[in-house]
Amino acid sequence: MEQRDLAWWETAVIYQIYPRSFQDSNGDGIGDLPGITSRLEYVANLGVDAIWISPFFKSPQKDFGYDVSDYCDINPEYGTLEDFDRLTERAHDLGLRVMIDIVPAHCSDEHPWFEESRQSRDGPKADWFHWVDPKPDGSAPTNWLSFFGGRAWTWEPRRQQYYLHNFLPGQPNLNHAHPEVRKAFEDIAHFWFERGVDGFRLDAVHTINADSAPYNDNAANLNFVPGKLPQEQQPFFRQLHDTAQLNQPLIQSFSESIRAVADSFGDKFLMGELHGDDPIKASETFTAEGRLHATYNFNLLAWAGLDVDGLRGAITDAIDAFNGTGRLTFAFSNHDVPRSGTRQLAPLGLQAHQAEDMQLLLLKLETCLIGSTCVYQGEELALSDVRDIPVCQMQDPWGIEFAPEFLGRDTCRTPMVWSAHAPNAGFSTANKTWLPIAEAHIARGGLDQAAKPSSLYNQFAEFLDWRKTQPAFMQANEMSALSGAEHIIQFDRISPTQTLRCSFDFKELTARFEEI
């Protein structure tokens, strides 16, 4: 095996911060950038390599920052650009890289680009979005459906045309076939790289629309059978099974243009979030030469969790395609799926009292796989998913649309807890927080756990410290095929100077490592 120096991102453990729920610094019940800065030492002491901060840009917050009205400024409830600069400086002082969440597929309907575009068919930004004439009967141009329910087309009377939105009507899709749209995102990348950002997590890149007319219907799903949310057999997930609407070939013009900007700044990292019928094939396309460095892999994020066979299959599919590379980022939890501390219990045949041991085992497993890893805030505390939020207090538009049958994403977004002895568990001094503090979380406050030598936080920190000393993890992204008994996932990590056998026992909830 030829030895080469790996880029930082090829082995990175990245800590995801959902800013609205991490730490409130000004008592308004909403997390903010100064709050994040105040907790960076806690993150650094865990031993991770980078932070990824979900969107904090100016936004009407219809989808909590994933509807951007200004990509180069901060939403006032989160702070200012000066606050961001202080955050970046502090993170770098602590040895943490900083990644931010760019949303390239769509912006807010309150963005000046869209406000101008919707006025007429003749303005400078008339073609920055997907505007299409109605069918002769006045109906929408295609059968495309939104992820959040309903048509993916909304009528604009000023233009007498429909515009495309794969998510909320307030999130119009940008036309990435337009060279000025690509140039605008190159400028956005320059802006943030010049401020010291080390990388981007690129949101839902498979939903970028660059192909234009003719707009074709998605193929009929002849095997459609209604199912419970959030299964893909819901009608509005039909677009996942066809390339007319998603994973369009011309998306790669965006991938290549933003990679060129990243390369001009040196050691930057581009991680694209994508999904689809064949995410491995899509990942290979997005990470081809001159495109994104890696894709954020959904294989381990199944909404209902995975049993050991499911885990084994998900890992094998990814490794078969990407072994020897750092072009994958693994995760067990994020801000869009139920927390793994709850989601994985039933599939693995475990009880609630085993959640902490299970969580540690999952954290060790994902950080032993090739490529990078994203750890969602609170995983290091084994926080549970919160499924008792009253409908009247729900915030997620997806959950509000389909509650009580489907609770959406609020269940994993409740505020971080820091101390059992502080108001709102240390998150905020406000009388009311944007989502309620989970009572079940209070005993697991981050600062309280960091002070306990035997806590999950400190066990994981010790493991990450050990991991950095192992050439098999840090010098190469090579691993063997999976093996092991029915309840065990076992593989070798291989470098020119070390072969390390890694064994994860989901019956005993223990991990073993042996140099061979």
pLDDT in tens, 50-92: 999 999 999 999 999 999 999 999 999 999 999 999 999 999 9
How long is the chain? 516
Residue 140 within a domain: no
CATH code of the domain covering residue 64: 3.20.20.80
- Tens digit of pLDDT for each residue in 200-212? 999 999 889 887 6
Measured CA to CA, the distance from residue 516 to residue 502 in angstroms comes to 10
Digit-coded pLDDT (tens) for 329-360: 999 999 999 999 999 999 999 999 999 999 99
pLDDT at 242 over 60: no
Q: Is 151 a member of any domain?
A: no
Flag whether pLDDT at 239 surpasses 70.
no
Strand partners, 131: 163
As a whole number, mean pLDDT of residues 488-508 equals 98
The 3-state DSSP class for residue 366 equals helix
87 in a structural domain: yes
User: Is the pLDDT at 3 greater than 70, yes or no?
Assistant: no
Domain presence at residue 135 = no
Residue 196: inside a domain: yes
Residues 6+ apart with CB under 8 A from 202: 102, 104, 258, 270, 271, 272, 273, 292
Dihedral of CA atoms 243, 244, 246, 250 in degrees, nearest 10, equals 90
Q: Is 350 contained in some domain?
A: yes
CA 5 vs CA 121, 264, 298, 396, 495: distances in Å: 52, 20, 27, 43, 12
Q: Residue 440 gets which letter from DSSP?
A: G
Which H or E run includes 493? strand 488-495
Give the residue numbers annotated as catalytic, written as ranges: 203, 273
Bigger pLDDT: 30 vs 245? 30
pLDDT at 237: 56
In a domain, 503, yes or no: no
SS3 content of the chain, % helix, strand, coil (to 5): 35, 15, 50
Q: Provide the domain limits for residue 254.
A: 8-104+179-474
Q: Which residues pair with 504 in a beta bridge?
A: 489, 511
Chain Cα centroid distance, residue 147: 16
Quote the pLDDT of residue 210.
81
Does residue 244 lie in a domain region?
A: yes
Number of domains in the chain: 1
